[in-house]
Amino acid sequence: MEIGLEALTGLLDEFRSGKTTNRRLDGLALEHHLRELSAGWDRRFPGLPRERYPYASLRGVFRRGLRDEYLKKIIENLLEADGLETAGNAIVNPACVFGRHARDIASRLGHFQVIATDIDRRFNWLYERIVWRRNPDNYQFAQDDIFNPKLKAEPIAVVFFGACGSVSDGAIDYAIQTNCPYLICRTCCHDNIGGNTTITKRFNALNWAFRLKNSVYATRREKGGGDYFSPQYSRDRYPQSQAAGVLSNSDEFMEISRNSVDSDVCRSIIDLDRYLHLVEGGYDVLYRAELFVARKNN
């Protein structure tokens, strides 16, 4: 708790000082305040792909696949090392979209049942027909809303790879509420927490691309489909952790969200609130570069 709280305090100070508008200063601040958290992660899970970062760049976005592959190896190694390969043990991948990552995990971990869920089943259906590859026998798709989950399963691991904004928070809370032993994930689209679809304009390709994305998301939000946004995760929900609530408030977190496209500091502030929320929920947590590995305390 103390390491995450200290890092969050430092990054909030950097945001308030205005340093996050300068890419170089943003990177230096991130390295300084996350040094201890990063070192803890690297000791446990060496080999994080570091080329061509920061993450707040088009190169960083396009290279997310490298981190996803790295994360899958962590999932595989952790679950096998813990001896959890009991028949019927389920790995749940909420917000799976096409289900590609869940199928990959099912292929690697044949002793586990892998359940991919999403509110919209069409993408999984489309992927099956485009790829023309037989699903692993232990793979299953179930249509489910992560903001109101109905899945009848007691997962031993909740995993996801880039759930947008508050969808990440819904998946994290699903792990907490089911007392899941493991949460292993990569967060994404920090600009979309709390129903936000507005970002601070900057003159670069990444900012333009995210503004285009958010114009689509804003339309989806108005239609009320429930796929990216939920009243349960309105702006007043943030910050989520009690610890971060002492340091900041909803107005500041929405401003941080609007600036997160071009600032790794802002993304990390939102993730550190999630870190503290998990610790308060009874988890030991490691965090690095939008990646989480959380294990339920015995």
Domain ranges, ordered by start, for the chain: 2-296
Q: What is the pLDDT of residues 267-282, one digit of tens each?
A: 999 999 999 999 999 9
Q: Residue 56 has what pLDDT?
A: 65
Q: Residue 7 has what pLDDT?
A: 98
- Is the per-residue pLDDT at 86 higher than 60? no
Total-model pTM: 0.95
Q: What is the pLDDT of residues 130-176, one digit of tens each?
A: 887 889 999 999 999 999 999 999 999 999 999 999 999 999 999 99
CATH architecture of 2-296: 3-Layer(aba) Sandwich (3.40)
CB atoms within 10 A of CB 129: 7
Q: Residue 98 has what pLDDT?
A: 96
- Is the per-residue pLDDT at 50 higher than 80? no
Tell me the pLDDT band of 51, cut-offs 50, 70 and 90: low
Q: Residue 88 has what pLDDT?
A: 61
Side-chain half-sphere exposure of 177, counting CA atoms within 13 A:
13
- Is the per-residue pLDDT at 54 higher than 80? no
